[in-house]
Structure 1
Amino acid sequence: MKLTADRMYQASLDKDSSFEGTYWMAVKTTGIFCRPTCTARKPKRENVEFFLSVQEALDKGYRACKVCKPLEKLNETPPYIQKLLSELAEDLSLKIKDADLSERNIEPVTLRRWFLKNHGMTFQAFQREFRMSAAFKKIKKGESILETALDSGYESLSGFNERFKNVLGASPKNSKIQTVIDLKRIETPLGTMYACAVEEGICLLEFTDRKNMDKQFRSLSTALNAEIIQGENRHFGQLEEELKEYFEGRREKFDVPLYITGTEFQKKTWQLLREIPIGETRTYRQQSEFLGNPKAIRAVGTANGINKMAILIPCHRVIGSNGELVGYAGGIWRKQKLLELEKAVLF
């Protein structure tokens, strides 16, 4: 569908998130410009104009809306929260209480709302889960339960055992037979992403606003028979560094280990995606022909749609037979941005 002014205005009325990143709407009477999904009251059609970049709106003299904050990266973790998370990662025994937050001029209620919205739990619950994830790994490596409890900031072994079981569903003694999937939010120029990893490698990378994200988590948890909990993983550092290099135009191929789950057909389809050279695209029909089954166009599309490794397994390089950018769970605007970036990487 052509991106006309009327279509953009209707998308703003609908607060349609699929248009995020494709345009910004400016209000002539207030001098403010907004995202398509801004919740502020919508102005009359004759009082608005549209821009295809933030810079265009700024150059025209418009100011950023304080409600939808169009100058910020989509769903970005605020810097002060990033700092808190870094502190927790460095000291697993650290317990940040509401009084500690107030001393840092952080409103506990505001922090609680952010974590409930973005992690589905309070900040205090997040800290407990984060500590138990680290404790699980220590015990699995052979460290004693008592030492692990003390390192995690617990003075009572019974208290540690109870909390451990509440988070992981099993006592520390029985945890060695379990598997845990580590979960972390990662910031990128195109928005915040969820990354999941196990010992073998990255098993999920998705934009946080992807539709049916809960279904992706459930599918992964079922496939690996494991709990997904907040925690660090040795593969996250490499992933973040390689993504940084990719978005800066300095990396064409990812080397971080992947742990892929799916049917044999899905795995073949995803491997074929990884063989599409950067800067090039293929159609769904071409992909099905490469698989030796020209009639499997719909099956190829379905496999692409449930790919859990955005960017790493580049399903964004597959387009419609008419050349249109279709079928990207992270949003068509991101598909366009990724393809533009990859062509730029080549020069």
Structure 2
Amino acid sequence: MMFDLPDSQTCYATFFEDAAAARGHLWVGVTSTGIFCRPGCPARRPKPENCRWFGTIHDCLDAGFRPCKRCRPTEPQGADPLVARLSRAVEDAPDRRWTEGDVSALGIDPSTARRAFRRALGMTFLDYARMRRLQAGFRELERGARVIDAQLEAGFDSGSGFRSAFARLLGLPPDALTRTSADALLRADWIDTDLGPMIAVADDHSLHLLEFADRPALPRELARLHKAVKGRLGLGRTAPIDQAEAELNAYLSGQSARFATPLTYHGTPFTRTVWDALREIPAGQTLSYAALAKRIGRPQATRAVARANGANQIAVLIPCHRVIGSDGSLTGYGGGLWRKERLIDLERAYGAGHLEQSEAV
């Protein structure tokens, strides 16, 4: 489901008078300052004639607006306070080359920062800072820039360093994605959410992958898709990516638990059965791995169900976060346990509401 923006007067009134209704649906770009904000921003209200209205963060960035430093529209929320503080420092200086000495200068022990980021995101703080720099390079490549220009935008002096860092994050060097963009069967793009950046891959008809950009398994998953389409994986947007972004924003803002983005599965018949069963778990409820195994008629396959759950490569829309340990513990989650906890907390507000099933092919 896509969300059509109302007229400018309605957008202005909703954004500034009813932030709850606008959250997840509406962002404002202020032409006089060049920044964009989320609903509820404490900054001074701009004049109506200086406002441009957008339905996604991606559209704001594409239009050339910078994230507001007061409301932090692209900043992950719900993380450990130390993770949030250092994430904010990265957003304040996106092309800075962070070192452990820089962390110490903030009065933070580098080893403490390292542990906090590994616990929350599965990567170190320095890896996270490098990822955000790479996002700037990704955007340049998507716009058709040369690799060297994307490298400089990302703050890398060395071309080999940029290619190596890009390949570590995405599993492929930048050239592998840019040279096939004209005739790509699949396209990859970056989605910013309240839980952090995600990578989406889709064709013109359905979504094939949706993962948090810091998930360790992402490079392997992208490389697998690249091989499946014989290298015809490029950069850019398709309608299913736009639809998934709009539905994610509505879901994370508490507006709607409905997902209708068409999905394409990449897995064995057994894993597909497990993923279908995951999508039948109502928002606001959880199941143990053993209970899920019984639900699909394979009560002895608890471990296989757990492996299929971990192999899910469409986060949130296939809600593997709703599966917990038999003792009620959250257990593992590829996107980080803090995200799993926040998703489960968020869904309590949806009660017994069900996510509508997307068509999987």
Tell me which of 238, 244, 252 is aligned to 1:233. 238
Partners in 2 of 1:107 and 1:82 — Cα distance?
8
Tell me which of 213, 229, 232 is aligned to 2:218. 213
Residue 79 to residue 111, structure 1, CA distance change in 2 (3 Å): farther
TM-score (norm 2): 0.56
Q: Report if the CA contact (8 A) 2:151-2:157 is conserved.
A: no
User: Which sections of structure 2, spanning at least 5 residues, go unmatched?
Assistant: 1-76, 88-97, 117-124, 354-361
Residue 322 to residue 224, structure 1, CA distance change in 2 (3 Å): farther
Tell me which of 162, 165, 168 is aligned to 1:117. 165
Displacement of 1:186 in angstroms is 1.2
**Higher-Rg member (1/2):** 1
Partners in 1 of 2:326 and 2:213 — Cα distance?
29
Displacement of 1:214 in angstroms is 2.2
Residue 235 to residue 295, structure 1, CA distance change in 2 (3 Å): same
Partners in 2 of 1:83 and 1:207 — Cα distance?
17
Residue 107 to residue 226, structure 1, CA distance change in 2 (3 Å): closer
Partners in 2 of 1:269 and 1:128 — Cα distance?
33
Q: Report if the CA contact (8 A) 1:270-1:307 is conserved.
A: yes
Partners in 1 of 2:151 and 2:268 — Cα distance?
47
Question: Match for 1:186: what amino acid?
Answer: I
Question: Secondary structure of 2:262's match?
Answer: coil
Alignment of 1:101-250 (within 5 A): 109=156, 117-118=165-166, 126=174, 129-130=177-178, 132-133=180-181, 135-136=182-183, 180-250=185-255
Alignment of 1:1-347 (within 5 A): 22-25=79-82, 34=86, 39=100, 40-41=103-104, 76=132, 84=140, 88=143, 98=149, 109=156, 117-118=165-166, 126=174, 129-130=177-178, 132-133=180-181, 135-136=182-183, 180-346=185-351
Partners in 2 of 1:128 and 1:74 — Cα distance?
20
Task: Please list the CA deviations of residues 133-187 of structure 1 after superposition, one character each: whole Å capped at 9, or x if unmatched.
Answer: 1x216xxxxxxxxxxxxxxxxxxxxxxxxxxxxxxxxxxxxxxxxxx32111111
RMSD (Å), alpha carbons: 4.2
Displacement of 1:293 in angstroms is 1.6
Displacement of 1:211 in angstroms is 1.7
Residue 41 to residue 286, structure 1, CA distance change in 2 (3 Å): same
Question: Match for 1:201: what amino acid?
Answer: S
Partners in 1 of 2:259 and 2:197 — Cα distance?
19
Partners in 1 of 2:191 and 2:334 — Cα distance?
18
Q: Report if the CA contact (8 A) 1:76-1:191 is conserved.
A: no
Partners in 2 of 1:267 and 1:107 — Cα distance?
38
Q: Report if the CA contact (8 A) 1:250-1:345 is conserved.
A: no
Partners in 1 of 2:148 and 2:316 — Cα distance?
37
Q: Report if the CA contact (8 A) 1:77-1:187 is conserved.
A: no
Q: Report if the CA contact (8 A) 1:95-1:127 is conserved.
A: no
Question: Secondary structure of 1:218's match?
Answer: helix
Question: Secondary structure of 1:203's match?
Answer: strand
Q: Report if the CA contact (8 A) 2:177-2:233 is conserved.
A: no
TM-score (norm 1): 0.58
Question: Match for 1:117: what amino acid?
Answer: A
Q: Report if the CA contact (8 A) 1:209-1:330 is conserved.
A: yes
Displacement of 1:242 in angstroms is 1.2
Displacement of 1:329 in angstroms is 0.9
Residue 214 to residue 257, structure 1, CA distance change in 2 (3 Å): same
Work out the percentage of aligned pairs sharing the same amino acid: 31
Q: Report if the CA contact (8 A) 2:287-2:324 is conserved.
A: yes
Task: Answer 1 or 2: higher relative contact order, Cα 8 Å, separation at least 6.
Answer: 2
Q: Report if the CA contact (8 A) 2:277-2:292 is conserved.
A: yes
Partners in 2 of 1:74 and 1:339 — Cα distance?
29
Task: Please list the CA deviations of residues 314-347 of structure 1 after superposition, one character each: whole Å capped at 9, or x if unmatched.
Answer: 0000000000001211111110011111223459
